[in-house]
Amino acid sequence: MCHIAAFCLFVCLFVCLVGFFTSEMVKNQTMVTEFLLLGFLLDPRIQMLLSGLLSLFYVFTLLGNGAILGLISLDSRLHTPMYFFLSHLAVVDIAYACNTVPQMLVNLLHPAKPISFAGCMMQTFLCLTFGHSECLLLVAMSYDRYVAICHPLRYSIIVTWRVCITLAITSWTCGFLLALVHVVLILRLPFCGPHEINHFFCEILSVLRLACADTWLNQVVIFAACVFFLVGPLCLVLVSYSCILVAILRIQSGEGHRKAFSTCFSHLCVVGLFFGSAIVMYMAPKSRHPEEQQKILFLFYSFFNPMLNPLIYSLRNIEVKGALRRALCKESHS
């Protein structure tokens, strides 16, 4: 798991640089020094109940994705390209949840607690980074499954470790750079008030609504990013799985059908949850109450997607369940 440690170190260094860059630009570009995250305007008793429930989901998210990472690192049978990409997906889910959920839980318990302008920009940057990186990682996973099922005899030649590492580095780097572009474009805008964000974290569209200048360039870049990082990757995934479906239908044995569908069904579930919620949030026509609906969708995306991913992979994947049984057996024997 050295590649995971290297990526985490790179993330820390990059975040430190962006934080310094953000703090320097904030001094000259804004009159607002902090924001108030309104979150969900509910009865205090309901907020306490919701915070307890979401805290439980948060713990499940960390434990589930942490268990996936642990199994992949400990079981040599899972040291394959598919689980290499799955480990990166688990890192993205953990990082995304850690970036958005704690602040939201704090706001549920202390609604008047503000977040600094620099902290808000950093949260926006990290959310965009992890979101963009996950899009590209899902495309890499679909390519891996396409080669494994449509070209099984050439799989080890096409999907080498060099190719896997290149795809992973490209996914993370593109996510970092595009998120940096978004944040730099936000920092060029003046923020002179109000300072209340109608969201439970610093989501980019909610932040832009508070700018005291025209945000047309930001909106154009967001739309272009949606086309290239949502619609484009989704089309590639659909093409990959169309080819996979054709290849599966050509398999003669029922056991071959079952195994092929079992390997790909979990990935399709994750793709549907991720791209479905993201496209609805950023590309669907806005209704009369867009902000309230967006908060509900982001709540689903922030909690349920990262929590359901390890459950989908563990419950639908025979190899993961086998690795879990072997790990539990070793623990019981020791």
Measured CA to CA, the distance from residue 42 to residue 287 in angstroms comes to 22
Measured CA to CA, the distance from residue 258 to residue 23 in angstroms comes to 54
Check residue 95 and give its pLDDT. 93
Tally of CB atoms within 10 A around 327: 15
More confident residue, 52 or 248: 52
**Token pair belonging to 37:** 């995250």
Section 83-112 average pLDDT: 86
First to last CA, the chain: 24
Domains of the chain, residue spans: 2-333
Measured CA to CA, the distance from residue 243 to residue 149 in angstroms comes to 9
Section 185-211 average pLDDT: 87
**Confidence label for 40 from pLDDT (cuts 50, 70 and 90):** confident
DSSP-assigned letter for residue 213: S
Name the β-bridge partners of 196.
36
Name the β-bridge partners of 71.
none
* pLDDT tens-digit readout, 19-30: 444 444 444 455
Check residue 185 and give its pLDDT. 94
Section 237-259 average pLDDT: 77
**Confidence label for 333 from pLDDT (cuts 50, 70 and 90):** low
Which residue is listed with tokens 């899972």? Answer: 78
Tally of CB atoms within 10 A around 63: 12
DSSP-assigned letter for residue 210: T
8 A C-beta contact, residue 126 and residue 95:
yes
8 A C-beta contact, residue 124 and residue 207:
yes
Long-range contacts (CB closer than 8 Å, 24 or more residues apart) made by 144-148:
144/81, 144/82, 144/85, 145/82, 145/240, 145/241, 145/244, 145/263, 145/264, 145/267, 146/240, 146/241, 146/243, 146/244, 148/82, 148/263
The structure's pTM equals: 0.84
Tell me which residue of 173, 171, 57, 175 sits closest to 108, measured CA to CA.
57
pLDDT beyond 60 at 133:
yes
pLDDT beyond 60 at 12:
no
Check residue 104 and give its pLDDT. 83
Tell me which residue of 71, 32, 56, 77 sits closest to 327, measured CA to CA.
71
Check residue 113 and give its pLDDT. 72
Name the β-bridge partners of 115.
35
Tell me which residue of 141, 165, 312 sits closest to 237, measured CA to CA.
141
Return the percentage of the chain with pLDDT > 90, whole number: 27
pLDDT beyond 60 at 142:
yes
Lowest mean pLDDT among 73-77, 78-82, 199-203, 264-268: 264-268
pLDDT beyond 60 at 37:
yes
Which residue is listed with tokens 């879990």? Answer: 324
Helix (H) or strand (E) holding 196: strand 196-197
8 A C-beta contact, residue 313 and residue 68:
yes
Check residue 137 and give its pLDDT. 93
Which residue is listed with tokens 């609504």? Answer: 209
pLDDT beyond 90 at 318:
no
Section 254-262 average pLDDT: 66
List phi, psi (to 5°) of 34: -155, 160
CATH class label, 2-333: mainly alpha
